[in-house]
Structure 1
Amino acid sequence: MLHKVGHLSDIPEDDALTIDIEGRPIGVFKAAGKVFAVKNICPHKRAPLARGTVQGTMLPTSCAGQYQYGMENQVLKCPWHGWEFDLETGKCLFGVSNSRIKTYEVSIRDDEIYVDV
């Protein structure tokens, strides 16, 4: 079911809007011109993910032991212990855990944000 959660201007770039839909805590993020919605609870220690940062991360290269920065504005970093999640898929990065965060489909109509719960 689609829920209107606000206007695009309600969310500053690289910041989050926290909302509650049907008892579900949700963080809505705007980064790199896209809007993402995730469950606002880290699976590790239940930290409020909306207080985390959206950034990139270090990625392994084809050379053993070498890394390069990538995924700019696609990674949500937990504010408590630094766990990193792919905002598109919710997947925890780099094998720290098989955990993932719940993601919700977002649609934009006339600059209004809708989250499908």
Structure 2
Amino acid sequence: MTTSAKKKYYAAQASDVVRTGSKLVEIRGIEIGIYYVNGAYYAWRNACPHAAAPVCKGKVCGTKLPSDVYQYEFGKDKEVLRCPWHGWEFDLLTGKHLSDEQVKLRGYEVQVEGEEIYVLLTE
């Protein structure tokens, strides 16, 4: 069994991502959304698993949490990515769909070196 090596690619300046909350970049022909959430960086492929929509062009928001009947509790503020085509919601910390955890965004490992953000891709 062969293991594929990962190569590090420059993605963005940390201050740019912190200032805006996210940045869409292209690395090796792949569009990747870089997100800054709760002090950490996350990288997700810009393709919704539902219909290949440009999910990273969707709104970063919160969502209604499970609660009792007639009680509507809002939570996960700025931790949810909502697909612009069909409204599917994904947790930006895990990439998982909020109601079906078997559906997930394609994620990439992120490394921060000083002010530079790198994404690791399998060769």
TM-score category of the 2 structures, normalised to the smaller one = 0.7 to 0.9
Larger Rg: 2
Segments of 4+ moved more than 6 angstroms: none
SS at match of 2:20: coil
The number of aligned residues is: 114
Asked whether 1:93 is paired with 2:98, we answer: yes
Q: What is the deviation of 1:65?
A: 5.4
* SS class of match (1:9): helix
Aligned to 2:3: none
Partner of 1:46: 52
Q: Does 2:115 match 1:108?
A: no
Could you tell me which residue of structure 2 aligns to residue 58 of structure 1? Answer: 64
Check whether the contact 2:37–2:92 (CA below 8 A) recurs between aligned residues.
Answer: no
Identity fraction in percent: 40
* Cα distance between partner residues in 2 of 1:41 and 1:47: 5
**Alpha-carbon distance, 1:64 to partner:** 4.3
Structure 1 window deviating more from structure 2 (22-31 vs 73-82): it is 22-31
> Aligned-residue CA RMSD in angstroms?
2.0
In structure 2, the partner of 1:36 is 42
Residue type of the partner of 1:102? R
SS at match of 1:93: coil
SS in structure 2 of the partner of residue 50 of structure 1: helix
Task: Identify the residue that residue 9 of structure 1 maps to in structure 2.
Answer: 15
Q: Structure 1: which 5+ residue stretches go unaligned?
A: none
Q: TM-score, normalised by structure 1?
A: 0.82
**Structure 2 length-normalised TM:** 0.79
